[in-house]
Structure 1
Amino acid sequence: MNINATLFAQALVFAILIWFTMKFIWPPIAKALDERALKISEGLAASEKAKTELAAANQRVEAELSQSRNESATRLADAERRAQALIEEAKARANDEAAKIVAAARQEAEQQVIKAREALREQVAVLAVKGAEQILRKEVNAGVHADLLNRLKTEL
């Protein structure tokens, strides 16, 4: 065999192999590598976008939390003020009610004092009549001496 022919045949087979690889094998591999690189770059871009969105979301969450804290503190302060106002109002109503009860009790006491005085006058008049009866040793007619007894009651 001739070494030149072998080298030529091997070069021809190698050229056909290169042409076949370049025509049928290399494009799908390059396409797969390009797709893979594109997916990786898209993934990195999505990752960066997600990081920025996460940072923005964290800022919004912090803003909402601080706003919620402020609102809750305001509501708590309002509730405390309302409670204090209700307590003061209840105290005022209780004081008014107590004053009414005391006034009613005083009025009732005055009425009872007046009734007691009247009852005492009646008893004193009866005792005076009995005393006069004892002194005179005769019966005093209360009907006849009603005017006298009424004057006695008023004087007492």
Structure 2
Amino acid sequence: MSITGTLIIQMIVFLALVGFTMKYVWPPIAAALDERAAKIADGLAAADRAKSELAAANAKVDEELAKSRNQIASLLADAERRAQGIVEDAKGRANEEAAKIVAAAKAEADQQTVQAREALREQVAALAVKGAEQILRKEVNAGVHADLLNRLKTEL
């Protein structure tokens, strides 16, 4: 065979191979490539959606954190106001108790002063009676002169 014949036969075999490849091999490869491209496109779209959802979630988290901080600040302010109120109330009650205690102590001191004066008056009256006894050198009857002694107590 000549080179031309061989070349023609090789061309026919090549064309048959190209035809077979185009008919039976190429469509599954093209389908697999198209399917892969679709999956990649879906993956990229899903990544974009996830990215936007993440941004939205971050914004929502920031908003919730801001709300929580505001609520915590208001709760702390309320707690501080309540604590101040409780402290002021306790101070008021303590002042009232102190005033009551001081008044009771003052009343007790006044009562003890009155009792001391009474005891002193009785002692002065007894001394006056003893002094009068010694001056008069006779015994004075305390029962007879009780009215006189009571008047002397009130004058002292």
TM-score strictly above 0.5 = yes
One-letter code of the match for 1:84? Q
- Report the alpha carbon displacement of residue 28 of structure 1 after superposing the two structures with TM: 2.2
Deviates further, 119-128 or 3-12? 3-12
**Alignment RMSD (CA, Å):** 1.6
One-letter code of the match for 1:112? Q
List runs of 5+ in structure 1 lacking aligned partners.
none
List runs of 5+ in structure 2 lacking aligned partners.
none
One-letter code of the match for 1:153? K
* Percentage of pairs with the same residue: 72
- Report the alpha carbon displacement of residue 45 of structure 1 after superposing the two structures with TM: 0.5
- Report the alpha carbon displacement of residue 4 of structure 1 after superposing the two structures with TM: 4.3
Give distance in 2, aligned partners of 1:90 and 1:151: 52
Partner of 1:99 in structure 2?
A: 99
Cα deviation per residue 1:26-62 (whole Å; 9 max; x = unaligned)?
1221122112111111111011111211211121122
Give distance in 2, aligned partners of 1:148 and 1:80: 71
Q: TM-score, normalization: structure 2?
A: 0.90
1:1-156 aligned at under 5 Å gives the runs 1-156=1-156
What SS does structure 2 have at the residue aligned with 1:140? coil
- Of structures 1 and 2, the one with the larger relative CO (CA 8 A, separation 6+) is 2
How many residues of Structure 1 are paired with residues of Structure 2 in the alignment? 156
Give distance in 1, aligned partners of 2:79 and 2:59: 30
Give distance in 1, aligned partners of 2:105 and 2:24: 116
Cα deviation per residue 1:64-97 (whole Å; 9 max; x = unaligned)?
1211221122112112211211121111111111
What SS does structure 2 have at the residue aligned with 1:58? helix
One-letter code of the match for 1:126? A
Give distance in 1, aligned partners of 2:75 and 2:147: 78
Q: TM-score, normalization: structure 1?
A: 0.90
What SS does structure 1 have at the residue aligned with 2:139? coil
